[in-house]
Chain A
Amino acid sequence: MKTVIDPRDERTQPARIVPGYPQTPLRNPREPLIRRPPTLSELSGPLEVARRVRVLGGDIAGQGEKQAIGQLIHLRVRVLDEDGAPVGGTVVEMWQANGAGRYIHPNDDDHAPPDPNFYGAARLVTDENGQFELRTVKPGAYPVPTRDGWWRPPHVHFSLFGKVWLSRLVTQMYFPGEPLNAQDRILNAVPDTVARERLVAQLVPPSAQPHNALVYEHRIVLRGRTATPEQS
């Protein structure tokens, strides 16, 4: 089955150089990016990443004495292509700060305590409905070391592969109702309001199941649609 990749609407994607994000003007190309005709090379891609990397469970909040501290949440995420078709069997990597806003990473140093029961990373494979579920704690906000009052709102990082090289996606998911969302320089680098709203998960009205975690639903759309007969 052939995949077609169409150019994206620039307003739905972040600006490359972001005011107040000091690394962006040093690292993003000055020269215009070059349009190239898509070939098999870009319209194929690794489908068996799970055979190369280690898949790491869907419960990172821990159990019993090993429970992480924080608001328990349950994420239910669906991964679709541009036709709305589920993207099953694809590797999803997620990572996040702990409940206090601290990452377990050498780049994160001093502002908040690590949680001995929380590493904050899961690597999963989507099911045939393109879905994956994850039990975790809600990440905390944290200050960016620009020291000019930029705090990242609570967010979860995702890295996904999809069906072809050009469907590879690295994105971030935000939480609804967070006052810091309105001033976040990364979220607001996406010009289109509706495109920004799509980066925010939805809180499912609490019900009986699960009784002890808040459920958030989110949708991720990867690039690519199935070729029509004329295109294949």
Chain B
Amino acid sequence: MIPTGEATIGPFFPPRYVDAGANDLTLFEGRKAKGEAIEIRGRVLQEDGAALENLVLEIWQTDAKGIYRHPADPRHAQADADFLGWGRTVTDAGGEYVFRTIRPGATEGRAPHINFMVMYSGLMRILKTTMYFTHEMDVVLSAVPVSRRELLIAKKQGPDGYRFDIRLRGENETPFFDD
């Protein structure tokens, strides 16, 4: 069967779908996830530099040991029971977002990374990108032209913070993936 056509999320995604705490992956059902808690902040901009408000961001990642909470991961029985690996937030009026999460572990063939999805009015399809912590290479970062790899590496900010800005179009445009 042929996958259904995508469409923009539009300007009216219900605010109640951004549940309180959905951007804090360090806590799941009241219990603390194992590992190093980190904070990721960033700003999402469009071509003319305007900050985008109410843009929906979702992330997906491994736990601290590099295990996905999913049966496709051979080690998934050992995944941290207190870590879901998924989060959602929306940008504020300044285009800023914040996630609190656990530093993901490395997995086979992949450097530690966090998958991002961007959904917004005017985006006819979900945009997918990946945030890295260091220049350590992996198969996905290697697919990105050398000159643009830097744009996928978060900047250290404070003792447990990172900054990952997302430019949808224009100068320093974030690399997005076609899957």
Binding site for B on A (CB under 8 A): 1-3, 5, 7-9, 12-16, 18, 21, 23-49, 51-54, 56, 80-84, 93, 95, 97, 103-108, 119-121, 123, 157, 159, 164-166, 168-172, 186-187, 189-190, 195-196, 198-199, 219-223
CB within 8 Å of A: which B27-75 residues: 28-29, 46-48, 50, 52, 54, 58, 60, 62, 68-73
Q: Do A26 and B173 form a contact, CB below 8 Å, given A38-B179, A168-B117?
A: no
Tell which of A3, A16, A54, A198 touches B4, judged by Cβ atoms closer than 8 Å. Answer: A198
Closest to A190 in B: B5
* Size category, B interface: 35 or more
Distance between Cα atoms of A12 and B66 in the complex (Å): 35
Tell which of B15, B28, B46, B140 touches A26, judged by Cβ atoms closer than 8 Å. Answer: B46
Q: Do A34 and B6 form a contact, CB below 8 Å, given A48-B84, A52-B28, A53-B19?
A: no
Segment among B95-103, B120-128, B154-162 that sits at the interface with chain A: B120-128
Q: Which residues of A contact B47 (CB under 8 A)?
A: 25-27, 30
Tell which of B1, B12, B17 touches A80, judged by Cβ atoms closer than 8 Å. Answer: B1
What are 17 A-B pairs with beta-carbon distances under 8 A?
A26-B122, A27-B46, A31-B173, A32-B178, A36-B139, A37-B139, A37-B140, A41-B115, A42-B115, A44-B68, A44-B69, A46-B85, A81-B1, A93-B17, A95-B17, A105-B11, A198-B2
Closest to B76 in A: A44
Q: Which residues of B contact A7 (CB under 8 A)?
A: 179
Distance between Cα atoms of A80 and B2 in the complex (Å): 10
- Whether B109 lies near A27 (C-beta < 8 A) is no
Tell which of B1, B176, B179 touches A166, judged by Cβ atoms closer than 8 Å. Answer: B179
Q: From residue B144, how far is it (CB to closest CB) to chain A in Å?
A: 6
- Whether B5 lies near A13 (C-beta < 8 A) is yes
Q: Which residues of B contact A41 (CB under 8 A)?
A: 60, 62, 68, 107, 110, 113, 115, 130, 140
Binding site for A on B (CB under 8 A): 1-17, 19, 22, 28-29, 46-48, 50, 52, 54, 58, 60, 62, 68-73, 84-86, 88, 107-110, 113, 115, 117, 119-128, 130, 139-140, 143-145, 148, 168-170, 173-179
Tell which of B19, B48, B130, B177 touches A52, judged by Cβ atoms closer than 8 Å. Answer: B19
